[in-house]
Each structure stands twice: as C-alpha cells, then as structure tokens.
Structure 1
Amino acid sequence: KGARTLRQNGQPFRVNTPIQINADTKPQLEAVPVKAVDAVLTDGTFSASATLRVEYQ
C-alpha cells in the first residue's frame, strides 16, 4: 500500500504540518511499510524516498 513516516517518538509525521526542529538535536525520521488489509508481506528490505522541505523562521 505504501510507506508511512514516523517521528522519533513513534508518532506519525503528518504531511504539510509544521514541526519545530532544534538544530542541536536533529530529528530522526523513520519509514515503515504499510500494507493493504488483504496483503501478505514477506521479510526483507524495502526502499522509500521523500522530499523534506525546511524553512527557517
């Protein structure tokens, strides 16, 4: 079905929603696979890509 991006505390990273980032403690994002209800996933690696836009205020 796709991939979901999580923030370092395991909370979903919501697209187009601002979050505060401290330059001293860089955020850690994690991508996890998301499957359709009727799909069967097998063990193995997967890849995902995304673009993260950062604005300084």
Structure 2
Amino acid sequence: GPQGMTSPVAYWHVPDIEAKLAEVTAAGATVKEVAHDIGGGRLVATVTDPDGNVLGLLQDR
C-alpha cells in the first residue's frame, strides 16, 4: 500500500499460538510481536511473512 498507510491486521484463531509461531517462522516469517496476554485469557502475537504482510495470531485459553 501507499507509504505511511497501515492496514488492519487480520487475526487468525489458533489452538496453540506457540506451535503456530514455530510453524510460520519455520516457513520464513519473522516474529514482530511475541505472544502476550491481552487480558481475559487471550494471547496475541503478530508475524511478518516473507512478502512483508503482517499477520496476527490469537489464542483463547
């Protein structure tokens, strides 16, 4: 997109956020924001894929 524009991050619900982080980084993505609790037992993390797209992961405990 245009410089300076940030598109909203799409969050994917996953059963095991750490396992999914390992999977996507093995596939070439880089962790942008490590898994952290945002309250209510919900964990989120964001990664950047090889094309530079930011993807979010979300796990409900």
TM-score normalised by L of structure 1: 0.26
Higher share in strand: 2
Higher share in helix: 2
